[in-house]
Structure 1
């Protein structure tokens, strides 16, 4: 897989993260991919997914 260039992404806490504990993720739109990382551990790296994969995941999560 080709390495994606991360160019100063605008990270924000995902609205799908739980608000009651510290198990949160941050998400950034870094076209052509969505970037996901652990809020507490940025050094752990990040996950790159397509916008379609992110939409499918969040759709599944919102349905419970």
Structure 2
């Protein structure tokens, strides 16, 4: 598997995050893959999804699956 350089990407916080720091996740857009991380642990692990898999996940969340 090829390494992905995540040092200079722009992270976007979930629109469901609140100012108290609740359960937040961040994603990076405009990449061939979709990296996802816990916003409270920015130096922690990153999960990386294929674009189709991420789109299916988001669609399922929106449908309440």
Normalising by structure 1, what TM-score?
0.79
Q: Which runs of 5+ in 2 are unaligned?
A: none
Provide the secondary structure at the position in 2 that maps to 1:43.
coil
Number of equivalences: 63
Q: How big is the alpha-carbon RMSD for the aligned residues of Structure 1 and Structure 2? A: 2.0
Normalising by structure 2, what TM-score?
0.78
Deviations 1:20-58 (A, max 9, x none): 861110000252111100010112121111110110000
Partner in structure 1 of residue 62 of structure 2: 62
Shift of 1:18: 5.0
Q: Which runs of 5+ in 1 are unaligned?
A: none
**Bigger shift: residues 39-48 or 18-27:** 18-27
